[in-house]
């Protein structure tokens, strides 16, 4: 404390600027070794005063002498997860991406939503295509260029949902090739995938898929109502919603090994803005068996959302409230039918406080528009709708801007889903 008293006694302008700068370094060392919080706080206050005094005299302090903000000893950690709908690859998209040298480029796809992908811990998307190899094809049997999966990864998507009705479009061989490329991406870029598996070991590893970030454990379960083409071999295989024993075992394992359980079902009637009774029944089953959040895909349009209440003896009021979003819609595609160009990006935030208590906050929603060539620009791209309101002059095709605004207002009114 003698050093501290000496500095306090000489804080006036009696000291030369050089001496003040030297003592910044001394104070930094003192702060690092002080054991008591009161003393640390006092030293920081003194350092702030002295630093301001030096800056007022236009002296630049070397960066190595500056003290960076200290993280509080007890800080609430927040895990941010962005969840997107169907990432598709139609024939027109393949042609638009083709280059004369035989490669494929998708650089415009996520340019306008990159800020969201960069500002999150996990980015989850439903990859509704196969990587079945050449010839590349769109609907009804999708086989996308390998570069598409690479670009999705490079832009920040790191959790792939693969249980959907198109995963077996190129039969077992196509699914095997798709999973092989996903495994290669997992080794080089730390992506993970769930919903399909090449063997029993991979199935047990990915269903449920347990991810740990910031000390928070998330379990992800992905399953589909069916596939358009059935697999002719036992492996690889897809998780099906009808296999309740498999799903229940996965939910039990998830609850035992994770803090939050999120279920991603591929279900529902295509092109309807409201869910059907079967979706509601299955959502209730998931909630009763341990799901904390349910977010669906498949209808290619945004569907309504709600909350399912189930009994829970661990809850303060004996009731557990499980949010469910029945469909996020298309993230990017060549579809242009009514309501198919708009989607929801759901943001899930999970917090962990100083006592280790973990909880998820209410879902946040952002409407995105899937623009086709000749709309916003000459290529496919995703746009946050709110960022574009009132900017029709920036669009190549004002007609698509008008369509976006009409669709945006119609879907918001029909689903009652508001965005932040």
Q: For residue range 314-358, what is the model confidence (pLDDT) as tens digits?
A: 888 899 999 999 999 999 999 999 999 999 999 999 999 988 999
Tell me how crowded residue 391 is: count the other CB atoms within 10 A of its CB. 11
CA distance 319 to 207: 27
Q: Is the pLDDT at 23 greater than 60, yes or no?
A: no
Tell me the pLDDT band of 215, cut-offs 50, 70 and 90. Answer: very high
**Tens digit of each residue's pLDDT (9 = 90 or more) over 248-306:** 999 999 999 999 999 999 999 999 999 999 999 999 999 999 999 999 999 999 999 99
Please calculate the CA angle 65-70-76 and round it to the nearest 5 degrees: 165
Q: Is the pLDDT at 65 greater than 50, yes or no?
A: no
Residue 25: per-residue pLDDT = 54
Strands (E), 232-318: 237-238, 260-266, 293-295, 305-311
Q: For residue 311, what are its two tokens?
A: 């009994």
Q: For residue 360, what are its two tokens?
A: 């998820």
How much of the chain exceeds pLDDT 70, in percent?
82
Tell me the pLDDT band of 231, cut-offs 50, 70 and 90. Answer: confident
Please calculate the CA angle 283-221-342 and round it to the nearest 5 degrees: 70
DSSP 63: G
Peptide bond into 355 cis (omega under 30): no
Tell me the pLDDT band of 54, cut-offs 50, 70 and 90. Answer: very low
Between 97 and 71, name the one with better pLDDT. 97
**Cα-atom radius of gyration of the chain, to the nearest Å?**
26
Residue 34: per-residue pLDDT = 47
User: Which range has the worst mean pLDDT, 22-31, 264-273, 371-380, 397-406?
Assistant: 22-31
Tell me the pLDDT band of 5, cut-offs 50, 70 and 90. Answer: low
pTM above threshold 0.85: no
Question: Are the C-beta atoms of residues 113 and 358 closer than 8 Å to each other?
Answer: no
Tell me the pLDDT band of 119, cut-offs 50, 70 and 90. Answer: very high
Mean pLDDT of 178-201: 95
Residue 70: per-residue pLDDT = 46
How much of the chain exceeds pLDDT 90, in percent?
78
Residue 313: per-residue pLDDT = 82
Mean pLDDT of 189-216: 96
Residue 62: per-residue pLDDT = 47
Most distant CA atoms of the chain, gap in Å: 87
Q: What is the mean pLDDT of the chain?
A: 88
- Mapping DSSP to helix (H, G, I), strand (E, B) and coil, where does residue 29 land? helix
Between 15 and 270, name the one with better pLDDT. 270
Please spell the DSSP secondary structure of 314-326, one letter per residue. Answer: TSTTSEEEEEEES
């Amino acid at each position: 404390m003698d050093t501290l008293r000496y500095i306090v006694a000489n804080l006036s302008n009696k000291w030369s600027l050089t001496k003040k700068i030297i003592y910044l370094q001394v104070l930094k060392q003192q702060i690092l070794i002080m054991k008591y919080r009161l003393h640390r706080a006092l030293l920081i206050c003194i350092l702030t005063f002295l630093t301001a005094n030096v800056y007022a005299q236009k002296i630049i302090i070397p960066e190595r002498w500056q003290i960076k903000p200290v993280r509080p000893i007890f800080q609430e950690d927040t895990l941010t997860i962005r969840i997107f709908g169907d990432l598709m690859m139609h024939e027109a998209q393949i042609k638009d991406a083709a280059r004369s040298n035989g490669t494929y480029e998708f650089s415009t796809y996520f340019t306008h939503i990159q800020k969201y992908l960069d500002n999150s811990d996990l980015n989850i998307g439903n990859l509704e295509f196969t990587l079945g190899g050449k010839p590349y094809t769109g609907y009804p049997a999708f086989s996308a260029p390998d570069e598409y999966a690479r670009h999705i990864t490079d832009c920040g998507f790191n959790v792939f949902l693969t249980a959907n009705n198109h995963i077996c479009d190129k039969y077992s061989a196509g699914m095997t090739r798709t999973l092989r490329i996903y495994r290669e991406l997992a080794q080089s870029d730390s992506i993970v995938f769930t919903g399909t598996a090449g063997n029993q070991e991979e199935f047990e590893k990915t269903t449920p898929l347990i991810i740990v970030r910031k000390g928070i454990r998330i379990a992800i379960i992905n399953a589909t109502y069916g596939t358009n083409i059935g697999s002719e071999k036992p492996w690889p295989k897809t998780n099906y919603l009808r296999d309740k024993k498999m799903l229940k075992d996965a939910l039990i394992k998830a609850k035992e090994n994770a803090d939050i359980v999120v279920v991603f079902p591929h279900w529902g009637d295509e092109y309807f803005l409201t869910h059907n009774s079967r979706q509601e029944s299955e959502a209730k089953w998931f909630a009763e068996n341990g799901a904390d959040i349910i977010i669906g895909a498949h209808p290619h349009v945004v569907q309504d959302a709600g909350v399912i209440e189930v009994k829970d003896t661990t809850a303060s009021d004996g009731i557990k409230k499980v949010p469910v979003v029945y469909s996020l819609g298309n993230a990017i595609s060549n579809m242009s039918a009514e309501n198919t160009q708009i989607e929801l990006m759901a943001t899930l935030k999970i917090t962990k406080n100083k006592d280790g208590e973990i909880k998820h906050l209410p879902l946040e929603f952002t409407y995105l528009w899937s623009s086709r060539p000749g709309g916003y620009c000459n290529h496919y791209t995703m746009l946050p709708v709110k960022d574009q309101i009132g900017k029709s002059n920036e669009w190549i095709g004002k007609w698509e801007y008008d369509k976006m605004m009409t669709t945006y207002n119609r879907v918001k009114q029909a689903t009652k889903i508001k965005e932040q």
